[in-house]
Amino acid sequence: MRRYARKEPKYPAPKVPHLLVSFDLGKWKVGVAVFLCPGEGGPESGRLVGAEVIHIEGEWSPEKMADAIHDSLSKLLEFTGFMPTSMVCEWPRKYATARKFHEALDRLYDVGHAIVRRFDTSWAESYAPSDWKGNVPKKAHKRRLVRELTLQEKASLQKHTAASLGVPDKEAQEYLDKEESHDLWDAIGIGLFATARTRKGGTRV
């Protein structure tokens, strides 16, 4: 795991209270999770504030995707007082033996570049899928992520999901339990890994 083996944040974490925003990038939809991090000497590595899947329809462009993300995040971040923010994401690598996926990865990269341009920042860190997730099956990995969330975080996630989807809490929980929410859970998994709350594959620290 190289530099990711240490029991400390897997990104250049500010020494002051800040927000960590983790992204699971995609062409048409992007999973986003926001964590409140205490900074140096804090009692915890990072607390989940909320997560959602942001998507667009109609004519596609990376800038359109980035604008949708900026709009959604602005609504979420306004409740945190616009604290200093770091952003991390999954950034899959290209392999010569899988050239058929290169065009799709190029579109994903375009979205990633558009996001940092829109927020006028840079990625604090990016991870290959093998860095943070490994080859753990999706269902097993999700169970590990759910296990790591506190009751307060689960309640906050359900509440935020209900608000973002415009549905009752019960329907929000049903959505979180379904496979269609996997982009949201991947964003949470990237954030838990980045804040050193989990190791590769969602295993406990």
The pLDDT of residue 33 is above 80: yes
- Report the chain's terminal Cα–Cα distance, integer Å: 14
SS3 154: helix
In a domain, 68, yes or no: yes
| pLDDT of res. 102 | 64
| pLDDT of res. 105 | 87
The pLDDT of residue 194 is above 60: yes
> Which CATH number is 74's domain given?
3.30.420.10
H/E element, 193: helix 182-194
In a domain, 80, yes or no: yes
In a domain, 38, yes or no: yes
In a domain, 3, yes or no: no
SS3 15: coil
On whether the CB atoms of residues 143 and 204 are closer than 8 A, the answer is: no
Q: How confident is the model at residue 93 (pLDDT cuts 50, 70, 90)?
A: confident
In a domain, 2, yes or no: no
- Domain residues for 150? 10-195
The whole-angstrom separation of Cα 20 and Cα 89 is 11
- Which amino acid is present at 195? T
pTM (2 d.p.): 0.93
The string of pLDDT tens digits covering residues 156-182 is 999 999 999 999 999 999 999 999 999
Q: What is the mean pLDDT of residues 11-23?
A: 93
Number of domains in the chain: 1
The whole-angstrom separation of Cα 122 and Cα 144 is 30
CB-based contacts of 160, cutoff 8 Å, min separation 6: 49, 50, 51, 52, 76
In a domain, 1, yes or no: no
| pLDDT of res. 81 | 64
Of 99, 83, 71, 101, give the one whose Cα is nearest residue 47: 83
